[in-house]
Amino acid sequence: MGASQVVTRFAPSPTGFLHIGGARTALFNYLFARHHGGKFLLRIEDTDRARSTEPAIAAILDGLTWLDFNWDGEVVYQFARAARHAEVANQLLAAGHAYRCYATAEELDAMRAAQRAAKLPMRYDGRWRDRADWPADQPFVIRLRAPQTGSVTIDDLVQGPVTVANAELDDMVLLRSDGTPTYMLAVVVDDHDMGVTHVIRGDDHLNNAFRQLALIRALEWPEPAYAHIPLIHGADGAKLSKRHGALGVDAYRDAMGMLPEAVENYLLRLGWGHGDDEIISRAEAVAWFDLSAVGRGPSRFDMKKLESVNGHYMRAADDSRLVALISPRVEAGIGRALGAADHDILQRSMAELKKRAPNLNDLASSSLFYLRTRPIPMDDAAQRLLASTPIALLSQARQQFAGLEDWSAATVEAAARALAEASGVKLGQLAQPLRAAVTGATQSPGLFEVVETLGRDETLGRIDDALATMQRAAHPDAHQADVD
């Protein structure tokens, strides 16, 4: 590693899904590293054995992969490094920077109770700091011998200089009596061993940074730069919760049908800015990203904004990619597997459909009418419209269309215009019932494009189905047999 190479890391605890705040932290680490031509590493902080789960690890890797925040090298699993963490604790012990503490849990509880009663801050009081009368065969923890006077200042790249008096920090535990490392020790050792130069994370970790720095200084290791990013709040200013959209990124992908580049663009703008730019490509983000433009105040999560950014990327997306993305949803919607002809229809309909679809779910549902098997379902508005349409008008249209030599949007439109004129009705009075018949709805992409995409046989068949329904409604008695 060259001395000047930037190394960042994303260090999630796999105790839950990859939520939107974590994804933003990952993005900022990713962009900062790429901007500086450095490395972006991934460390899974799975030391909490009770709360870490395999599905959570899988969800984190899956979410980062979906967002295309590709990390460098192998994933580092913190738990696997426990022996190294213990080694460092023992090294500090040998050097006198740490000491054995034999205080029992009951003793410490009593100490805290006394501090609470005296309204003193609750801190370990250093009772074993200067003792060497170690009882034989008793369990002990290893604590850092932290400085007790003076203060520590962190020149945070986002928060600016932040100072804490050493008197406020007690001698934290590094190694538990069962030999397992604490979180504070593991983070410091791993960041060092991974060569991390910039620690970029949520500002809920700012307090930890002072303790971590005390440990780094005891070890005489190089100090990383810190950047603590303000947390994301809900649109109402309250701390982000599920109600505000603090869901796993998989929910944005699956339940909401969003595109990864839209989620990325939105997260980038959440707490970081580049002039008035709203739509920012990955390449631009890498070129422009800088921690100095990260705001100090909490940012507000705005679902409407995210939806509108997603709509932008939907319109910009490649048609084949959209077809592939909606296929599973479409198959679920029509209840059968898609064949080559269906894919072809979807492909041809994308240019029109994507203009109006804010997400993949809506895109999929707006495409279903193309692929439904006859007779296609009619919504209420379509049914009402057909009920008030003269049967003769639709039936004449069917005849005209059936006689067309060429089948295209232009030829069908010309035939419809000619018929409307000959019948003394406006084009819309014919086009609307036609739309109801061929799409099952009163709103759709351009009618004649739809008709061209569906083809002659399917279009005429759908008009026939509508005519049959209209005839049954007009002469209910004649079709009693159908009803029984």
Q: Which stretch binds ligand GLU (CB under 6 A): 8-16, 85-93, 261-269, 362-370?
A: 8-16
Under the binding rule (CB under 6 A), the answer on residue 13 touching ligand GLU is yes
Decide whether 199 or 262 has the Cβ nearer to ligand GLU: 199
End-to-end CA distance of the chain: 82
**What is the token pair recorded at 200?**
């970029």
Q: Which stretch binds ligand GLU (CB under 6 A): 10-18, 48-56, 398-406, 416-424?
A: 10-18
What are the catalytic residues? Answer: 242
Q: What is the DSSP string of 44-106?
A: E----TTT--HHHHHHHHHHHHHHT-PPSSPPEEGGGGHHHHHHHHHHHHHTTSEEEE---HH
The 10 Å Cβ neighbour count of residue 134 is 11
Instruction: Give the residue at shortest CB distance from ligand GLU.
Output: 201
Decide whether 231 or 414 has the Cβ nearer to ligand GLU: 231
Under the binding rule (CB under 6 A), the answer on residue 400 touching ligand GLU is no
String of b and e for 179-188 (b: at least 16 CB within 10 Å)? Answer: eebbebbbbb
Under the binding rule (CB under 6 A), the answer on residue 24 touching ligand GLU is no
| Longest CA span, the chain | 110
C-alpha closest to that of 41 among 15, 84, 87, 74: 74
Between CA 137 and CA 143 the distance in angstroms is 18
Under the binding rule (CB under 6 A), the answer on residue 11 touching ligand GLU is yes
Decide whether 42 or 397 has the Cβ nearer to ligand GLU: 42
Q: Which stretch binds ligand GLU (CB under 6 A): 7-15, 109-117, 233-241, 308-316?
A: 7-15
Between CA 249 and CA 55 the distance in angstroms is 14
Q: Which stretch binds ligand GLU (CB under 6 A): 9-17, 46-54, 57-65, 107-115?
A: 9-17
**Are 438 and 450 within 8 A, CB to CB?**
yes
Under the binding rule (CB under 6 A), the answer on residue 12 touching ligand GLU is yes
**What is the token pair recorded at 251?**
């929910």
Decide whether 197 or 439 has the Cβ nearer to ligand GLU: 197
Under the binding rule (CB under 6 A), the answer on residue 93 touching ligand GLU is no
**Are 364 and 313 within 8 A, CB to CB?**
no
Decide whether 205 or 312 has the Cβ nearer to ligand GLU: 205
Decide whether 18 or 364 has the Cβ nearer to ligand GLU: 18
**Are 158 and 291 within 8 A, CB to CB?**
yes
User: Total binding residues for ligand GLU by CB under 6 A?
Assistant: 7
Beta pairing, strands 232-233 & 198-202: unpaired
Under the binding rule (CB under 6 A), the answer on residue 181 touching ligand GLU is no
Under the binding rule (CB under 6 A), the answer on residue 129 touching ligand GLU is no
Under the binding rule (CB under 6 A), the answer on residue 189 touching ligand GLU is no
Exactly one of 205, 217, 282, 300 binds ligand GLU (CB under 6 A); that residue is 205
Between CA 294 and CA 159 the distance in angstroms is 9
Give least dist CB 51 to ligand GLU, A: 11
Decide whether 8 or 453 has the Cβ nearer to ligand GLU: 8
Under the binding rule (CB under 6 A), the answer on residue 45 touching ligand GLU is yes
Under the binding rule (CB under 6 A), the answer on residue 207 touching ligand GLU is no
Residue type, position 436, single letter: A
Give least dist CB 203 to ligand GLU, A: 11
R_g over Cα of the chain: 33
Give least dist CB 41 to ligand GLU, A: 12
**Are 372 and 342 within 8 A, CB to CB?**
no
C-alpha closest to that of 92 among 19, 30, 27, 185: 185
Exactly one of 145, 201, 244, 269 binds ligand GLU (CB under 6 A); that residue is 201
Under the binding rule (CB under 6 A), the answer on residue 229 touching ligand GLU is no
What letter does residue 294 receive in the DSSP assignment? Answer: B
Give contact residues for ligand GLU (rule: CB under 6 A). Answer: 11-13, 45, 187, 201, 205
